[in-house]
Amino acid sequence: MISSERMAAVDANAAALGVPSKQLMESSGNAVARAVRSASDPGDAVALVCGRGNNGGDAFVAARFLADRDVTVHLLGRPESIGTAIARENWEALHAAEIPSETVADSADFDLGSPAVVVDAVLGTGVSGTLREPARTAVEEINASGGRGGESGGDGAIVIAVDVPSGVDADTGEPTGGDGAVAVDADRVVTFHDAKPGLERLEADVTVADIGIPAAAERYTGPGDLLGLGRSPDSHKGENGEVLVVGGGPYTGAPSLSARAALRAGADLARVACPASVADEIQGYSADLIVRPLPGESLGPDHFDRVAELAADQDVVVIGPGMGNAEASLEFVRRFLADFSGRAVVDADALRVVPEVETDAELICTPHQGELRGMGGETAADPNERAELVRAFAAEVGHTLLVKGRYDVIASDDGETVRQNRTGNPGMTVGGTGDVLAGTVGALAAQTDPRTAQTDPRTTQTDRNAARTDPFQAAAAGAYVNGLAGDAAAEANGHGLVATDLIDRLPDALYDE
């Protein structure tokens, strides 16, 4: 089962793996033609009703595979306004092949005739809102032509929908125009790659066609995992997230790297709460950070009130970098997490405390293999076996996990979703790259999800967490871009790369795909 959003991501990942959308469209069109053939006889009239997006494009391809049927392609709108290059190329190929086609400039002129099969390729997953003309009339004509919803009471044409009946939301099965709005009532649906939750709720007979998307496009992170992380062009300071790094004491580099990575990964503000003994040093590394000194030389339970107060207005807290493993510092982390209900990235020595603590917080834990074992998790040499162990352990602890390794493994807090990341290189075993990753994930998890940004004022912490990027997506995207930045750094510096090299390359990795 796959959502439309994930489908778009997998499509982009497939393209990055050398299987571009045009190739997938060829397979989709072929699958639609197979369904048409099984529903008709040679010589039968087949009407393909096509919109100007890729859903229509699938049907342009299908027409080429139906040489022994009496095919007519109806394009809704002008050919010049076909929206994508691959659909346009397939429209042109149709002409070159002399396949009969007509363009429907005015919906009033739309005449389907009385074909044996109608292919509904008006709209696929790209639909939003109430159907506009000429799509609306076309959908009504399709419904009137036959099928269960047809005026002829089922004796008319067989209606085969491409990917999803036009006007239906593939995620919910509801009309995109709202309750009772017009949408195609299909007899059959040929959907691609995987089942869609909304299609299960329809009466139509749904088949899933394998269109050759490699399994790796789902198993591994890719550029598709960055979709939906875009910053809104009209956002103002604070909207792209404020991150508080809590750490330092025995070490000064780690919290500084995390905080600077958070800024490069798009956070508007990065603060560091650290022992006063190292505050000047951490500030000295960078003018971009806001440093909040806490009395003493290492984190301890006395700092709880102050840190809880600082954390209250943050989008994400990154806790652990460079704090060391003194018992008092671990006790501080226990108290902090037990009380916290926001969102936190937990790294380094703070990780071992996680399995002991009952918390309402949403945690993203970023252990390496050794730290995972320290938390009570298991690991394995085989990447797929490791992925399975991490998935099960994430469900057990109830938090998102990002386990670092040659292949990173990311698992959702319910253990339902697991993904691997294979960007990165052996040069990244140098100290500090994990701190960069924690800061990067913190920044991505601090962003407001553009899809929920318009919701009502969010008053509770739970509402605020829900309005942000999904923690699993933030972790998967963070692992992917951290590895890309590391690969760019290795290109420049070979195995001599250092963690600060990654930080400067994060913006390119994130935004210049």
Ligand X SMILES: NC(=O)C1=CN([C@@H]2O[C@H](COP(=O)(O)OP(=O)(O)OC[C@H]3O[C@@H](n4cnc5c(N)ncnc54)[C@H](O)[C@@H]3O)[C@@H](O)[C@H]2O)[C@@H](O)CC1
Of K ion, ligand X, none, which one sits near residue 120, judging by CB under 5 to 8 A according to partner kind?
K ion
Strand ranges of the sheet holding 408-411, from the earlier edge strand across to the other edge: 290-294, 269-275, 242-246, 316-319, 343-346, 362-365, 400-403, 408-411, 418-421
Is residue 254 marked as binding?
yes
Residue with tokens 């699938």: 58
Q: Does 57 bind ligand X (CB under 6 A)?
A: yes
CB of 293 within 8 A of CB of 318? no
CB of 187 vs ligand X, minimal distance in Å: 18
The correct pick among 3, 45, 70, 126 for binding ligand X (CB under 6 A) is 126
Q: Does 188 bind ligand X (CB under 6 A)?
A: no
Q: Taking each helix axis as running N to C, give the angle between helix 21-38 and helix 54-64, from 0 to 180 degrees, rounded to the nearest 10.
A: 60
Q: Does 84 bind ligand X (CB under 6 A)?
A: yes
DSSP state at residue 24? H
Residue 135 vs 354, nearer CB to ligand X: 135
**How are beta strands 290-294 and 188-192 bridged, if at all?**
unpaired
Q: Does 51 bind ligand X (CB under 6 A)?
A: yes
Residue 210 vs 360, nearer CB to ligand X: 210
The correct pick among 66, 71, 104, 131 for binding ligand X (CB under 6 A) is 131
- For 62, 342, 366, 444, 500, the CA distances from 318, given in Å and listed in that order, are 52, 11, 10, 12, 18
CB of 288 vs ligand X, minimal distance in Å: 39
Q: Does 249 bind ligand X (CB under 6 A)?
A: no
Is residue 95 marked as binding?
no
d(CA 33, CA 121): 12
Q: Does 236 bind ligand X (CB under 6 A)?
A: no
Q: Does 162 bind ligand X (CB under 6 A)?
A: yes
Of ligand X, K ion, none, which one sits near residue 171, judging by CB under 5 to 8 A according to partner kind?
none
d(CA 202, CA 173): 7
Cβ contacts of residue 512 below 8 Å, gap of 6+?
none
Of ligand X, K ion, none, which one sits near residue 126, judging by CB under 5 to 8 A according to partner kind?
ligand X
- Name the nearest CA neighbour of 115 among 181, 66, 58, 64: 66
Q: Does 52 bind ligand X (CB under 6 A)?
A: yes
Binding residues: 54-58, 120, 124-130, 163, 166, 254, 322, 368, 434-435
Binding site for ligand X (CB under 6 A): 7-8, 11, 21, 24-25, 28, 51-58, 83-84, 123-132, 135, 162-163, 192, 211
